[in-house]
Structure 1
Amino acid sequence: MKSSNFFCVFFIVNLISLSVSEIPHSVAQKKSALIQESQLYTQQQKDRLFQQALAIFPEDKIPAQYRVVVETFPPQRCATMLVEEIRQNMHLFSPERQAVLQELFVRPDLPLSTVTESGFRIHYTLSGADAVSDVDSDGNGLPDFVDEVAAAYEKSFRIEVEHLRYRQAPDDAGVDGPEYDVYIVDLRGGVYGFTTSDGGIPSTLRDDARSYIEMDNDFLNNQFTQGVPGAQVTAAHEYFHSIQFGYRVFKIERSNEPFYYELCSVWMEDVVFDEVNDYFQYMRPFFQRTGIPFNQFDRFFHAYGEAIWNFFLVKKFDDFDLVRRSWEIMESNDPAIDAVNQALFEEGSSLADEFAEFAIWNYFTGSRADTIQFHNESPHYPEIALNGEFVIGDTTTHQSAETSITIADSSLSLTHKYYRFTTFSADKYLLTASSSTPENWKIAVIVLGPESGHEFHVFDLGESLDIGFLPRFSEVVVIPVNVQVLDGDNLNKLTNTYSFFTFNLIRVPVESTDEQGISAIYPNPFIMGDHDRINFEFFPKDTDNLEVRIFSAAGKVVKTDKLTNGSGALTPSTFAWDGTDDDNVVLPSGIYIIQLKQGDFIESKKFAVIRR
C-alpha cells in the first residue's frame, strides 16, 4: 500500500481571493474580531507562521531579503494547517508580507501543456527552475516524466471516479482551458504537491469549490518515495483532494477536520497505486503515538497514518462504498467524525464499536502480523507502543504472586491504551473495569495462548469478562478504548480533556477439587495455516495412566498419546496437537473427537479442523 509524505500542501482557499467582506459581518464585529485575534499571536508566532509559509517554496521564488531566514528554518512538509492558519489570520501580517504571500500562492504560468483523455491539462516547462527532464524515450514529443504524470492522473480518474463512483472534481470555470489543471513546478525539499481551492460554485447549494493542483517536477528533493512512483501517489492523493472539495471544503473554523481529508487521500494513494507503499512512512508516528485523539490533526503525520482506518473498514465490511458514504453525508455540513459515525450506523454499527475493534487489529502487526484476519500489509507496520507490561501469578517472586493487578489511568478522547499481561500460573482469570464516566469507554481484550491462536472480546464498563482458564505463559492484552467524541473545533478541549478508568485483572487460583475432564479447547475451529496447533485443557484425576485419543468423524483413531507425571494430581494439564496423525500425515478438514481416558473415567468432546 502506499501514501505520500503528503507533505501535501493542500490549500483550502486561494489566499489571493480573500476580501475584507469575507471576515466579519459588520465593521464593529470586524474591528472586535481583529483586536481579539491579534492579541492571541505574539510577534514571534507571526514571524514563525510567515517563515513556515516561505519554507514551502524553492529559494528562487522567495524574495532575497527572506532567504537567509528560510534557509535556517526546517521545511514544513505538510502545510495544510499552516496555510489555513495563515488564511484566517492574513490581516495580522504587514502589507509587505501579505504581498509576498499572495505572490507565492498564485496559479503558475507555464508555457507548455498536454491534455489527457479524461480531461486533465498537464502544464510544464523545459526551462528554468520548474523544468522537467526533457528525456523523451518513445519520441512522442512529450517528456517521459510528463507522460508518466498524465498516466497517473488518468488511472486516478478511472479508479476514483469511474470505479469507486466518487463525484468528478468540479471544473475550474475555464481557467487555462476547460480541463482540470495540474501544474508541474519545483517545490522545496520534501514537498510532494498540493491542491488549491479556487473559488466556490454558485450553481450548487453545497459548500464546494473549484481547485487546481501543483506538484513537484522531479521528486528527487528528499521525498520518501522518489521519481515516478512519487508522482503517482501524488496524483492519486491530490486528485482525491480535488474530489473532496466537490463534496465540501473543510471548514476554517473546524481546525482539526483536515485529519479526515488527509486520512482519506493517503488511503486513496494505496487504492490506486497499491505497489508503491509510500504510506509506510506514516506508520511509526501512528503506532508509537496512540495518545493522540483520532480526530486531531497534528503536524507529525499521525493523521496520515490513520489511513489504515479506511483499510480496516473496507476489509471488515467488504465495502468501498462505506467511505464514499461518509463524504456524501459531509455535504450537509456534518463534521467529518459525525459523518463517519452516521455511515457506520447505516451499516448497523457505530464509531464506538468499530474504533474498539480497530484497536484490536492494530495489535497484530510486525512479528504478530495476521494478514488473513487483520491488516493486509501488517508485517510492514511497527508494533504498537505498550503503555504497560506485567506478569501475574509468578509464585516464585513476591511482587507478582498477587491474585490481581489494578491499573488506574486516563486518556484523551478517541484514543487507545495497551496493557499486556503474561500469566505465570495456570488458573482462571477475570477482568473488571469501572469509570465515573462509563459511557466514554469500551474495553477490548485479546487473549493469546502460549502455543498459538487468539480470541478477542469487547465489553462496556460496568460489565466484567470471565476470561476462563488460561495455561501458563498465556498473554492477556487489555485495551481501554476512549470512545468519547469531543468537538474537534476546540483544540484546547480536545487535547486537555482526560477521562479516567480503572480495571482489574484477577487471578482465580484453581483449587483441589474432584473436578475431572476436558475444560477448554482452543482455538476452535483449528485453522491449519493460521494456527500452529490446537490446545486441550483438562483436569487429571491422577498423575499417571492418562490417555488421549483423537478420532475422525467416522470413528477411526488418528492420533494417540499417553501422558504420565504431567502436572500433578488435581492440577490443570494441556495436550497440544498439530493436526497430524500417528504417521505425521496432515489430516483433512472435518469434525474430530478428542477422548480423554483415565482409569474408569472417559470423556469425549467434538472440535473442528479447517485445512486451508
Structure 2
Amino acid sequence: MNPRVFKRIIATIWKKNCGNNLAFWACQLECHFGKRINSSCKFMANKCLKWLTIWFALVTATVLGDQSSLQQVLQSDYQSGSISHAEFIAYQLMACRNHDELPVRYQKLPRPISRMGTALMMEARSLLDTSFGRDKEMLQKVLYRPDNLPLAQTSPAGLFKIHYTDEGENAAADTFITQCALAYDQVYDTIINGLGFDPPPIDDPLEPEYDVYIYSVGGYGMSTPESPALGEKYPHGYTSYISMDNEFTITYTKGVDGMLVTAAHEFFHMVQLGFRCFTTSEIDARWLFEGTATWMEDYAYEEINDYLQYLPHYMTNLNKSFHTFNGLHEYGACIFYHMLETKYGAEIIKTLWTEFATKGLWEALDSALGQYGSSFKSELADHMVWNYFTGMRAAPELYYPEGAMYPLVQADQIYEIEETLGFSDKTAFLSAHYIEITPTTFGNLLITPALQSPTHWLHSVIKDPVTGQARTIRSAGNASVLLSDVSASQDICLIPTNVHMPANGDTHTEEIYSIHLSLGQVIGMTAGIRNIHPNPFQPAAQSSGLAIDIRLTEKTREINYHIIDEAGRVVHSHSDRFDSARNGDFAFIWDGTNDDGEIVGSGIYLIFIDAGQSIKPGKIAVIH
C-alpha cells in the first residue's frame, strides 16, 4: 500500500476512535515531525506547541464537563420533566448573574465557561410572553438589569455608562473600568464610524448612554434584548444592554485582551439587536448572531485571535449542518465570515445584516451575496474548499490569511483506485464530506455523482500536485468531472457539499450521495467551455476573479486564452503550458484587467480558447 495512504488511514482511524481533538493533535505532530529538520523547525515546533495548548484546554474542559457540570444536570432534569423550559433557561442565567439564587442542589455544581449568555437571554425573552406564574417571575428576574452595582463611569466619548462595584465578588478595579470605557468607545468607532453600521437604538432619551454592567458572569459576557425599538428604522429591532465579566481570569483569553474582544463581540450584539432579535425570525438565527459577532472580535482586534479556540471543534465537524447551534459550532463558523471579508471586503457583513432586518434568513443571505454576484450555496461550497487549505496546506495569499494557524481538515474517507471505484455516504443539509482519492497508476480520472436530489449538491474536486498551486474544479448535481493524467504522486480531494437550505432550519436530516470513479481512457466526452462564473463579472467587487472552466478531450501541451472586446481587439491573453500533453478539465482565472494591468471597461467580451481542438467561444459581461 502507498505509505502516504497508510498515514491517512491511521489518522482517520485515530479520529474515529480516539476523538476529534486527538486526531487534530496527531495531525499537528505530523505537520512537525513529517518535515525535514531545517531552519523552519523552530517555527513548526512553536505552532504545534500553541495548538497543543488549545487541545489541552479543550480536553480539560471535556473532563470537567464529565464531572456532572451544572449544564449537564440541568439538561438531564429538563429532559426528565423535573424542571420546566423556563426554569432550564433561567437557572443557567442565574449561574451567570447571581449563583446564590440557584436552588441549593445546583449551587455546588461546577459552572462551565460559556459564551451562550446572549442566546440564553434571547430565549428567555422569547418565552416571557407565553409564560405564567412562577415561570414568568423567574424569567423576569433574570431579564432585569443588575441592581447591585452602585458605581458608574461614563466613557470619554460620552457613549457608554459602565456600571460596577468595588466590593465583594463582583468588584472591579478602577483601572479596569477605565480600560473598559475606552474599549467600548473604540469598538463603537470601528463598527459605527468605520464600517457604517447604524447605532443601536437608545433605551432612554434622558440617559442616552449604552449601559454596560460589570460583574462576575463566569465567562466573557452577554447582551440582553430588552424592549422593541418602536419608531426606529428597523421594525424588528430591540433595545439592549451588556453584561461583562469583571476579571477575565478563567476565560481562554485573559485580562485586558479578553475584555477587548468581549467589548467588540457584545457591542456588535447590540448593533445586531437593533436590526432584529432572533425571536422575530421564522428560523432560529442565533448561529448568525454568534458567528458574525465572533468575526467582529477579530476584525476589531486582529492580533488577539480568541476565535482560534473554537476551530478544533468546528474543523472536525464540517459534516454537521453549517447552521448548527450547540455552544461551539456557531463560534467556529466565524471563519465563513472571514472568507467573505477576504473575498468581498468587511462591508459585506453590513449588507448581510441590513438584508436580514426585513427578510427571512435564507432570503437575506442570498440577497446580500447576490449584490456581489454570488449566492449562499456557492459561498458555502467555496467555504468547504477554503477549509481544506489550512494548517500545513495553508495558502494565505489565496485563502484564509491566518489559515496556517487553523487545524488541518482530516478526510472522512480514504480510497485507492486502480480502475473503478464506487461509494455512498450521507451528510446533513449545509454540510460536507472530505474524501481523499489516490490513484495507483497514471490515467484520466472520471468522477460521476449519482444523486436523488441533484439541486441539493455542489461538488469541489481539488487536484493537489507535489509542487505548484492546487487546482480546484467545481460542478453541480450529477455533472461529471474529468481529471487528466492523475497519478499516485498527487492528492485528490473530493468535497461533496449539501447546499440545501431547509425551510424549517432542520439540522438533523441527512441525504445520501453516491459517487462513481473510473480511471483510464475516457471516450464520449465533448470539448468546450463548461462554465463561466460569476457572470456578469464585477472586477472591483469580486476580487476572487472570473473563472472559465473548460474541458479538453484531446491531449495538448498548451492552452491559450484570448479575451476580445466588442471592437474585436485582444485585451488580454494568457497561456498555460505543460511538460507533457494532457486532456481533461481546466480552469483559467481572469482578474478583469487588460495586458497592461488596467481594469477593462463595462461591456460584452468574448473568450477564445486555442488548444488544438474546436471550442466554441464564450461570452463575458463586465459591469462596474
Give distance in 1, aligned partners of 2:194 and 2:152. Answer: 27
Match of 1:150 in 2: 181
Match of 2:106 in 1: 69
What is the correspondence of 1:208-223 to structure 2 with a 5 Å cutoff? 208-220=237-249, 222-223=250-251
Give distance in 1, aligned partners of 2:519 and 2:474. Answer: 20
Match of residue 303, structure 1, among 301, 311, 330 = 330
Match of 1:184 in 2: 214
CA contact under 8 A between 2:557 and 2:580: conserved in structure 1?
yes
CA contact under 8 A between 1:432 and 1:464: conserved in structure 2?
yes
Give distance in 2, aligned partners of 1:380 and 1:467. Answer: 31
| 1:419-440 superposed Cα distances (whole Å, 9 cap, x missing partner) | 0112221222111112111011
Pair 1:439-2:492 in alignment? no
Give distance in 2, aligned partners of 1:324 and 1:227. Answer: 30
Pair 1:273-2:301 in alignment? yes
Rg bigger for which structure? 1
Match of 2:396 in 1: 371
Structure 1 residue ranges without an equivalent (≥5) = 6-40, 134-142, 394-402, 512-516, 525-533, 540-570, 573-612
Pair 1:165-2:224 in alignment? no
Give distance in 1, aligned partners of 2:322 and 2:299. Answer: 22
Match of residue 362, structure 1, among 373, 387, 395 = 387
Paired positions, count: 463
Match of 2:464 in 1: 448
CA contact under 8 A between 1:417 and 1:479: conserved in structure 2?
yes
| 1:538-591 superposed Cα distances (whole Å, 9 cap, x missing partner) | 37xxxxxxxxxxxxxxxxxxxxxxxxxxxxxxx99xxxxxxxxxxxxxxxxxxx
Give distance in 1, aligned partners of 2:375 and 2:437. Answer: 29
Give, in angstroms, the shift of residue 507 of structure 1: 0.8
Match of 1:113 in 2: 152
What is the correspondence of 1:194-593 to structure 2 with a 5 Å cutoff? 194-204=222-232, 206-220=235-249, 222-251=250-279, 254=282, 256-299=284-327, 301-317=328-344, 319-332=345-358, 334-393=359-418, 403-489=419-505, 494-508=506-520, 536-538=578-580
Matched position secondary structure for 2:416: strand
CA contact under 8 A between 1:406 and 1:504: conserved in structure 2?
yes
Give distance in 2, aligned partners of 1:482 and 1:408. Answer: 14
Match of 1:527 in 2: none
Give distance in 1, aligned partners of 2:79 and 2:465. Answer: 57
Matched position secondary structure for 2:152: strand
CA contact under 8 A between 1:287 and 1:382: conserved in structure 2?
yes
Over 3 Å counting, the alpha-carbon distance change for 1:284 and 1:488 in structure 2 is: farther
Q: What one-letter code is carried by the residue in structure 1 that aligns with 2:311?
A: M
Pair 1:54-2:79 in alignment? no
Matched position secondary structure for 2:201: coil
CA contact under 8 A between 1:250 and 1:257: conserved in structure 2?
yes
Give the TM-score of the pair, scaled to structure 2. Answer: 0.68
Give distance in 2, aligned partners of 1:197 and 1:353. Answer: 33
Give the TM-score of the pair, scaled to structure 1. Answer: 0.69
Higher helix share: 2
Matched position secondary structure for 2:83: helix
Over 3 Å counting, the alpha-carbon distance change for 1:281 and 1:45 in structure 2 is: farther
Over 3 Å counting, the alpha-carbon distance change for 1:448 and 1:535 in structure 2 is: farther
Matched position secondary structure for 1:314: helix
Give distance in 1, aligned partners of 2:299 and 2:305. Answer: 10
Give, in angstroms, the shift of residue 508 of structure 1: 0.7
| Aligned-pair Cα RMSD in Å | 3.3
Give distance in 2, aligned partners of 1:199 and 1:82. Answer: 16
CA contact under 8 A between 1:241 and 1:261: conserved in structure 2?
yes
Over 3 Å counting, the alpha-carbon distance change for 1:86 and 1:164 in structure 2 is: closer
Give distance in 1, aligned partners of 2:208 and 2:391. Answer: 48
Over 3 Å counting, the alpha-carbon distance change for 1:131 and 1:219 in structure 2 is: same
CA contact under 8 A between 1:55 and 1:75: conserved in structure 2?
no
Q: With a CA cutoff of 8 Å and minimum separation of 6, indicate the structure with the bigger relative contact order.
A: 1
Give, in angstroms, the shift of residue 518 of structure 1: 8.8
Give distance in 2, aligned partners of 1:452 and 1:45. Answer: 61
Give distance in 1, aligned partners of 2:521 and 2:361. Answer: 48
Matched position secondary structure for 2:445: strand
CA contact under 8 A between 1:172 and 1:211: conserved in structure 2?
yes
Give distance in 1, aligned partners of 2:265 and 2:125. Answer: 23
Give, in angstroms, the shift of residue 59 of structure 1: 8.6
Q: What one-letter code is carried by the residue in structure 2 that aligns with 1:44?
A: G
Give, in angstroms, the shift of residue 282 of structure 1: 0.9
Q: What one-letter code is carried by the residue in structure 2 that aligns with 1:182?
A: V
Give distance in 2, aligned partners of 1:44 and 1:386. Answer: 40
Give distance in 2, aligned partners of 1:64 and 1:314. Answer: 43
CA contact under 8 A between 1:170 and 1:209: conserved in structure 2?
yes
Give distance in 2, aligned partners of 1:97 and 1:72. Answer: 22
Q: What one-letter code is carried by the residue in structure 1 that aligns with 2:143?
A: F
Structure 2 residue ranges without an equivalent (≥5) = 1-56, 58-77, 524-553, 562-575, 584-624
Over 3 Å counting, the alpha-carbon distance change for 1:461 and 1:60 in structure 2 is: closer
CA contact under 8 A between 1:57 and 1:187: conserved in structure 2?
no
Matched position secondary structure for 1:444: strand
